[in-house]
Amino acid sequence: MSAEIRVLEHPMESGQALRVFGRAMIGLAGINQLDPEHVLEPGRFLGAVESGTVVAGADSYTSWLAVPGGNRVPHAAVTHVGVLPTHRRRGLVRALITAQLKDFARRGEVVASLRASEATIYGRFGYAVASSAASIEILSARAALLPTVTDPGPVRLIDDSAGGGSLTRTIYSEARWVGAVDRPDGWWNLRDMQREKQTTPSYLVVFDEDGAETGYARYQPADPAHWFTSDRREVVVGDFVANTDNAYLALVRHLLSLDLVDVITFASRPLDDPLPALMSDPRGARVRMVGDETWLRIVDVQAALSARTYRSAAPVAISVTDALLPANNATFEVGPETVRRVDTSPDLTVDVAGLAAIYLGGTTWQHLTLAGTAIPHTNAAVERADNLFGTARLPHSGTVF
């Protein structure tokens, strides 16, 4: 590999890397029209530069991730990873991701996550699926809620051109459900630009509670050109943010009561979303697609384990192996009160990717053991670890970057 791996000069070189990403993705529209100064964070785009030309890149945003218990940990949101088709299979991705992880460690970022275009790339670098998402389709004719479901009150329809963008940023800044990530300025700027260019009508509703806005939903028709002739008028909810149960119920009530609509599709919801259980006819809610969402990488194992909460259970000693960040190679005693490094024999051994999969509660130690990515060394170690790491709800992000 003759390319130099380094931080790209912003915005000139990072703009080149953004276009490299567009070429690598092939079918990604509009990437060449983006202004790097509006959508990228200076100093975070790493590139492979060969003879003065950027031939590969890996970008990230400064962010946070909400973990079990509600804490937020410093988080790197990885994106724009791409290699020119003429420079594939030269080790550029490995060099970039390795350098990127070391940079995250220097910055004090505890975890990193990404959305993978291919499912076989990132496991070799310690990433693993930590949350999944479902697309849920609701048939309007069968969308009645149970009479026992609370009605928290009406929502407000907001004009985006009159401050709707800043209001959604404020509401989202309070997100603390497990798996939520910070949406940095570049993320919001890109979405604002996309809405300004689109011709499809879009609607924003907000719920107010105790003098504050606690949730919002953005939705739009799927096929406005044939809206009045179609026998399947569909509304797609692209962004649904509810920081309280009341906000969730109020927004759902509004969406399920829309006139002239046959189908309401929630584009991204947690796998255990309660919506079907709230309906008089639960078969009116159909899960149309389930896919991996958050690919998580733990950068600082001790800090990550210490940041989340655990159920009341006996401590478990877990030996972690990490080929790329050797500082993580240690045995950690994890308990409901404290996490500490120990020299004792472990109850379980797991690589850093397996630990990432379990970290937010998206899978179980039993599943890791069946897959061979976790190895128990003591009797009942798996059962004890699952009792300790269990969460009440499955993780979900709801943010693509």
Segments making up each domain of the chain, as ranges: 4-109, 133-292, 300-389
CATH of the domain spanning 133-292, picked from 3.50.50.60, 3.40.50.720, 3.40.630.30, 3.40.50.2300: 3.40.630.30
Whole-number Å distance between alpha carbons of 109 and 119: 24
Beta bridge partners of 240: 217
Per-residue pLDDT reduced to its tens digit, 53-68: 999 999 999 999 999 9
Query: How much is the pLDDT for 164?
Result: 79
Sign of the CA dihedral 190, 192, 198, 202? positive
- CA dihedral (35, 40, 43, 47) in degrees, to 10, reads -80
> pTM for the full model?
0.95
> What are the strands of the beta sheet with 339-342, ordered from one edge?
339-342, 330-334, 316-321, 348-351, 374-376
Decide if 244 contacts 105 (C-beta within 8 A). Answer: no
**Residue 81 and residue 23 in contact, taking contact as beta carbons nearer than 8 Å:** no
| pLDDT at residue 162, as a whole number | 65
CA–chain centroid gap for 256, Å, is 26
Q: Torsion over CA of 176, 108, 93 and 54, rounded to 10 degrees?
A: 100
Lookup: tokens for 341: 């490094």
Find the helix or strand (DSSP H, E) in which 49 lies. strand 46-50
Would you state the pLDDT for residue 1? 61
Specify the pLDDT at position 33.
85
Both tokens assigned to 221 = 């028709």
Q: Given the DSSP bridges, would you call strands 46-50 and 234-242 parallel, antiparallel or unpaired?
A: unpaired
The one-letter amino acid code at 299 reads V
> What residue ranges of the chain have pLDDT lower than 70?
1, 162-163
Q: Report CA 251 to chain centroid distance, whole Å.
A: 21
Helix (H) or strand (E) holding 320: strand 316-321
Q: Does domain 4-109 have CATH number 3.40.630.30?
A: yes
DSSP state of 179: T
Report how far residue 394's alpha carbon sits from residue 270's, in angstroms, rounded to the nearest whole number.
Answer: 7
Beta strand ranges found along 71-227 (DSSP E): 72-83, 111-114, 128-139, 156-158, 203-209, 212-221
4-109 against 133-292: fold identical: yes
CATH of domain 300-389: 3.30.1050.10
Radius of gyration of the chain (CA): 22
